[in-house]
């Protein structure tokens, strides 16, 4: 079935889409290229996805760009990923700013290389007043680490008598996460056919709809995104209750 933009816009859009961009290395290997080539093409796929989400009117995007576990990869590949973060920002920041995209890094970005940290910090400052699309870039990010970070901050607030134990609710806990003030992802997309969550937004995706595609991330196109959104729109989201 061929899906059109008009069909998609007839139904509610996901407010927040999160993407695990997987398969860059396998894409490169399948073409006899170095893994770095896959990551480079994957960056272009990311830009195309931002453009497509803008067209759909989706207001929040979170992408898993570099996990806390990715430091275990070969140093050459880690260096390439750090370089691509800076390269993407330097090349695309004016375009993102013009489109009203707010770049919001999440994770412990202090561990990034100086060049990558400088670029992502510049992007955050330059776009801080934008609100058309909130673009969360998960860098040196881990879901368990985020939850621990929030729990420690809440414990400190209790110890300093800023909070009482009974003040701690799900809503309050969410305010201590990197995504504070944002809706939880309605839709999580994972490319390359993997069926795991990989320590990504563990708190936030409790009731997200998942869409898995065998397409490797560098080959991910607007039509793939449209298919994901279409399937999301045609699911019955029960949140633990009874269906319609």
Q: Is the pLDDT of residue 207 over 90?
A: yes
Mean pLDDT score of the chain: 96
In angstroms, the CA 217 to CA 228 distance is 14
Residues 42-63: pLDDT tens digits?
Answer: 999 999 999 999 999 999 999 9
**pLDDT category, 153, cuts 50, 70, 90?**
very high
In angstroms, the CA 223 to CA 229 distance is 10
In angstroms, the CA 217 to CA 237 distance is 27
Residue 22 bears catalytic tag = yes
Average pLDDT over residues 133-139: 98
Catalytic residue among 48, 54, 70, 108: 70
Q: Is the pLDDT of residue 244 over 70?
A: no
Residue 136's DSSP bridge partners are 62, 104
Q: Are strands 60-67 and 101-106 parallel, antiparallel or unpaired?
A: unpaired
Please count the CA atoms within 13 angstroms of the CA of 191 that sit on its side-chain side. 24
Residues 68-112: pLDDT tens digits?
Answer: 999 999 999 999 999 999 999 999 999 999 999 999 999 999 999
Count of residues in the chain: 244
Report yes or no: 164 and 219 within 8 Å, Cβ to Cβ.
Answer: no
Residue 102's DSSP bridge partners are 134
**pLDDT category, 242, cuts 50, 70, 90?**
low
Record the pTM.
0.95
DSSP 75: H
- Give the CATH superfamily of 11-142+185-233: Decaprenyl diphosphate synthase-like (3.40.1180.10)
Q: Is the pLDDT of residue 171 over 70?
A: yes
In angstroms, the CA 135 to CA 103 distance is 5
Residues 6+ apart with CB under 8 A from 152: none
- Residue 237: what pLDDT? 79
């Amino acid at each position: 079935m061929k899906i059109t933009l008009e069909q998609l816009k007839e139904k509610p859009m996901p407010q927040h889409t999160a993407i695990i961009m997987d398969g860059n290395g396998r894409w490169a290997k399948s073409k006899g290229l170095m893994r770095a080539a896959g990551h480079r093409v994957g960056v272009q796929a990311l830009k195309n996805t931002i453009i497509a989400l803008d067209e759909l009117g989706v207001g929040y995007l979170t992408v898993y760009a570099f996990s806390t576990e990715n430091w275990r990869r070969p140093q050459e590949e880690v260096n390439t990923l750090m370089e691509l973060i800076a390269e993407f920002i330097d090349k695309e920041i004016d375009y993102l700013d013009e489109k009203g995209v707010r770049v919001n890094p999440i994770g412990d970005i202090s561990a990034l290389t100086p060049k990558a940290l400088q670029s992502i910090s510049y992007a955050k400052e330059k776009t801080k007043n934008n609100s058309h699309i909130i673009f969360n870039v998960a860098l040196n990010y881990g879901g368990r680490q985020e939850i621990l970070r929030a729990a420690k901050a809440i414990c400190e607030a209790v110890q300093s008598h800023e909070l009482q134990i009974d003040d701690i609710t799900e809503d309050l806990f969410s305010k201590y996460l990197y995504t504070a003030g944002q809706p939880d992802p309605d839709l999580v997309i994972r490319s390359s056919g993997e069926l795991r969550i990989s320590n990504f937004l563990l708190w936030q995706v409790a009731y997200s709809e998942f869409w898995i595609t065998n397409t490797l991330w560098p080959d991910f196109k607007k039509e793939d995104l449209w298919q994901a959104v279409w399937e999301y729109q045609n699911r019955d989201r029960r949140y633990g209750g009874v269906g319609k």
